[in-house]
Amino acid sequence: MKLTDNVLRSFRVAKVFRENSDKINCFDFSPNGETRVQLFLLPPGRPKRTLYSKKYGVDLIRYTHAANTVVYSSNKIDDTIRYLSLHDNKYIRYFPGHTKRVVALSMSPVDDTFISGSLDKTIRLWDLRSPNCQGLMHLQGKPVCSFDPEGLIFAAGVNSEMVKLYDLRSFDKGPFATFKMQYDRTCEWTGLKFSNDGKLILISTNGGFIRLIDAFKGAVLHTFGGYNNSKAVTLEASFTPDSQFIMIGSEDGKIHVWNGESGMKVAVLDGKHTGPITCLQFNPKFMTFASACSNMAFWLPTIDD
């Protein structure tokens, strides 16, 4: 099935998980699309099992290339990043270095490299095989960062006003491109993602808009708004896997979808969420997506287009 405006409008909640009472901080699909970090198996969608990290807490979490291991940042005790085996719930390695909360975490799509950005105004480059930081960049403000889909470059959003592109092989020489955006004092950037075709970058904010920019020229292609975020919540925005559509949840529990080429809003989906939708991702392999507040909802299309 191909994603079209009509198919997206037809998505309905197929299953809701209400095991949680607190806000879900983060979730991630495995690269093969078959499991999600809270480990609901797809399909049929029953909770597979629960892994606890009560001591350290879990804030951001990302699958590695092995479907049974993850890296995650903590929200208690310290700001060390942890590498965890889901198979036996044991830590493989610790990555110490950040001195404040980690606010960005991105796994390379091609190898064991990952990057992290922190409120300590640094971006660190890591290799899963070593506890030592492989590279360190000092910035002027809070960073957001992400790898491109080929794992050759990464983008860093700095001070909520510029995007810097770095070649992974020579990042210590500085950015090879810098795109300056219009600064908006009403909000700050909370996320940065590449589309799967590598042509677009999506910038999330804790305000009432998100921006789509050209990954090669830095030009703002569209600014998407018209959704509720009056309390400056960090809402996750995502591309669909075909890079054609952009989605974001809102504080009133609805999901807004735009066509990335035309900039037109194509759907507003109501999942009956009880709070702000802080997590939203499309499955990389299957025609389904998940959204979360304190509940987790899985969505399926109801028409063939």
Residue 200 corresponds to which tokens in the numbers above? 């677009």
Per the CB < 8 A criterion, the answer to whether 259 and 249 are in contact is no
Taking only the tens place, the pLDDT of each residue in 206-236 is 999 999 999 999 999 999 999 989 999 889 9
Where on the phi/psi map is residue 198: left (φ > 0), alpha (ψ -120 to 50), or beta? left
Asked if the bond preceding 109 is cis, omega within 30° of 0, the reply is no
pLDDT at 17: 81
Q: Is the pTM of this model over 0.75?
A: yes
pLDDT at 38: 47
pLDDT at 33: 76
CA-CA distances (angstroms) from residue 9 to 81, 84, 248, 259, 267? 38, 37, 14, 12, 5
pLDDT at 41: 32
pLDDT at residue 119 greater than cutoff 60: yes
pLDDT at residue 42 greater than cutoff 60: no
Per the CB < 8 A criterion, the answer to whether 36 and 28 are in contact is yes
Per the CB < 8 A criterion, the answer to whether 120 and 98 are in contact is yes
CA-CA distances (angstroms) from residue 287 to 6, 15, 26, 263? 14, 14, 20, 22
DSSP label at residue 9: H
pLDDT above 90 covers what percent of the chain? 61
Top-confidence residue, 103 or 247: 247
Taking only the tens place, the pLDDT of each residue in 257-304 is 999 999 999 999 998 898 899 889 999 889 999 998 888 899 999 987
Round to the nearest angstrom and report the end-to-end CA distance of the chain.
Answer: 7
**Every domain of the chain and the residues it spans:** 5-301
Residue 297 corresponds to which tokens in the numbers above? 């909802």
| Distance in angstroms (rounded) separating the CA atoms of residues 123 and 286 | 32
Per the CB < 8 A criterion, the answer to whether 125 and 115 are in contact is yes
pLDDT at 39: 35
pLDDT at 69: 87
What pLDDT band is residue 48 in, cutting at 50, 70 and 90? very low
Taking only the tens place, the pLDDT of each residue in 190-199 is 999 999 999 9
Please state which of the ranges 30-44, 82-96, 120-134 shows the lowest mean pLDDT.
30-44
Taking only the tens place, the pLDDT of each residue in 71-100 is 888 765 678 999 988 888 889 999 999 999
CATH 2.130.10.10: does it fit domain 5-301? yes
What pLDDT band is residue 141 in, cutting at 50, 70 and 90? confident
Taking only the tens place, the pLDDT of each residue in 142-192 is 899 999 999 999 999 998 999 999 999 888 889 999 999 988 888 999 999
Per the CB < 8 A criterion, the answer to whether 213 and 236 are in contact is no
